[in-house]
Amino acid sequence: MRSFSLPLPTLFAGFVAVLVGYASSAAIIWQAAAAAGATPGQIAGWMTALGLAMGISTLALSAWRKVPVLTAWSTPGAALLVSGLQG
């Protein structure tokens, strides 16, 4: 069995990539939910569910395929959803 180690800069780079990717689209997703008439509590629950689903699917796919996999939502799709729901 191989020993596995990740240098701290590698972990930090991965964390920053995930944080920027999530935060950059969060405002668009929030607007889409607000345009659909969701309450702030519902939107927070939706964002939590999306974050957990992306995290679980990222971990599962990475473990299964033995390569780094990052799942995310579609930012262009969310933008289209916002424009379509604003009536």
* Per-residue pLDDT tens over the stretch 16-52: 887 887 787 888 888 888 888 899 999 999 889 888 9
**What SS3 string covers 34-59?**
HHCCCCHHHHHHHHHHHHHHHHHHHH
Q: Which two tokens stand for residue 85?
A: 């729901």
Q: Please state the domain extents for the chain.
A: 39-63+72-87
SS3 66: coil
pLDDT higher than 60, residue 1? no
Q: What is the dihedral of CA 78, 19, 44, 28, to 10 degrees?
A: -20
